[in-house]
């Protein structure tokens, strides 16, 4: 989702039937962006390869130059969505000198903001039944690691509370589900553009992080301190 093509003109290969691309994205990234929008808008199974390709400015079959199967597109998108959060989680776990509550705040805020920001609400796809397939083992593994990081921080904050696994699940559900509801209601009957809700991405991140700390059992003073310190950790 990052690399750009070196030369806008002077392109190798047969020209596109629909004219050259407007965007600065590489063709592969154009496909990913188109798929992200359509998958989250209409669902994965309901989105045809033709729709994806044509939104990317290509003919249906040309997409297969970049992805061997439709599943590969979804897998790539999902992996690219967890990965930044997982990397941040790993970094935060290592900073054992910092307040665990501040670290949990930073992780939750960044994770929620990431899910809220995108053009596309990929978080809503996390629990898609399709994602149970073999092809998505990589994504599921990364998400499990992210969950474990949340669990670790939660344990540092509240080591004695029972039902640790269950509370960790609820915490993850709060982050992913909460953002999904916020986005979804924001979109409402509105006109599909932008990250939903009338809420700013940072606002949602902060609200989710605060809610996460409430689940973790922090009182108001602890939450306010964690928010202040957490902003420094990002």
Query: What crossing angle do the helices spanning 100-117 and 137-157 adopt, rounded to 10°?
Result: 150
CB of residue 145 to a second copy, shortest distance in Å:
14
Choosing among a second copy, DNA, none, which partner's interface includes residue 27 (Cβ < 5 to 8 Å by kind)? DNA
Interacting stretch for DNA, rule CB under 7 A, among 11-19, 75-83, 86-94, 157-165? 11-19
Task: Verify binding: residue 179, a second copy, rule CB under 8 A.
Answer: yes
From CA 36, how far away is CA 207, in angstroms rounded? 25
CB of residue 66 to DNA, shortest distance in Å:
7
From CA 48, how far away is CA 43, in angstroms rounded? 10
Task: Verify binding: residue 3, DNA, rule CB under 7 A.
Answer: no
Residues, the chain: 234
26 CB neighbour count, 10 Å cutoff: 17
Number of alpha carbons in the 13 Å side-chain half-sphere of residue 165: 1
* C-alpha to C-alpha distances, 211 to 54, 120, 127, 171, 179, nearest whole angstrom: 41, 23, 21, 9, 12
From CA 79, how far away is CA 138, in angstroms rounded? 7
From CA 48, how far away is CA 69, in angstroms rounded? 12
Interacting stretch for a second copy, rule CB under 8 A, among 10-18, 23-31, 66-74, 171-179? 171-179
CB of residue 22 to DNA, shortest distance in Å:
13
Task: Verify binding: residue 77, DNA, rule CB under 7 A.
Answer: no
Interface residue with a second copy, options 88, 176, 205, 230 (CB under 8 A):
176
201 CB neighbour count, 10 Å cutoff: 17
Task: Verify binding: residue 111, a second copy, rule CB under 8 A.
Answer: no
Interface residue with DNA, options 16, 140, 147, 231 (CB under 7 A):
16
Interacting stretch for a second copy, rule CB under 8 A, among 14-22, 90-98, 102-110, 124-132? 124-132
CB 113 within 8 A of CB 201: yes
Closer Cβ to a second copy, 165 or 232, answer by number:
165
First-to-final CA distance of the chain: 22
Interface residue with DNA, options 32, 70, 149, 157 (CB under 7 A):
70
Q: Contact positions toward a second copy, by CB under 8 A?
A: 40-46, 124, 127-130, 163, 166-167, 169-170, 172-182, 184-185, 197, 199, 203-204, 207-208, 211, 214-215, 217, 219
Q: Contact positions toward DNA, by CB under 7 A?
A: 10-18, 27, 47-51, 58-62, 64-66, 68-71
């Amino acid at each position: 989702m990052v690399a750009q093509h070196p030369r806008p003109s002077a392109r190798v290969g047969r020209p596109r039937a629909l004219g050259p691309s407007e965007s600065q994205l590489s063709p592969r990234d154009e496909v990913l962006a188109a798929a992200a929008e359509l998958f989250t808008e209409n669902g994965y199974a309901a989105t045809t390869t033709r729709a994806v390709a044509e939104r990317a400015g290509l003919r249906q079959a040309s997409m297969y130059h970049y992805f061997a199967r439709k599943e590969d597109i979804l897998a790539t998108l999902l992996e690219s969505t967890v990965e930044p959060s997982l990397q941040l989680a790993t970094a935060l776990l290592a900073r054992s000198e910092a307040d665990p509550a501040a670290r949990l705040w930073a992780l939750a805020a960044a994770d929620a903001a990431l899910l809220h920001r995108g053009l596309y609400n990929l978080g809503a796809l996390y629990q898609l039944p399709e994602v149970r397939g073999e092809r998505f083992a990589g994504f599921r593994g990364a998400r499990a690691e992210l969950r474990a990081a949340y669990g670790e921080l939660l344990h540092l904050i509240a080591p004695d509370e029972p039902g640790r696994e269950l509370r960790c699940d609820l915490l993850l559900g709060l982050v992913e589900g909460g953002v999904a509801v916020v986005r979804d209601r924001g979109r409402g009957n509105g006109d599909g553009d932008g990250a939903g809700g009338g809420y700013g991405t940072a606002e949602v991140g902060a609200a989710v992080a605060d809610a996460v700390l409430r689940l973790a059992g922090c009182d108001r003073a602890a939450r306010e301190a964690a928010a202040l310190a957490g902003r420094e950790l990002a």
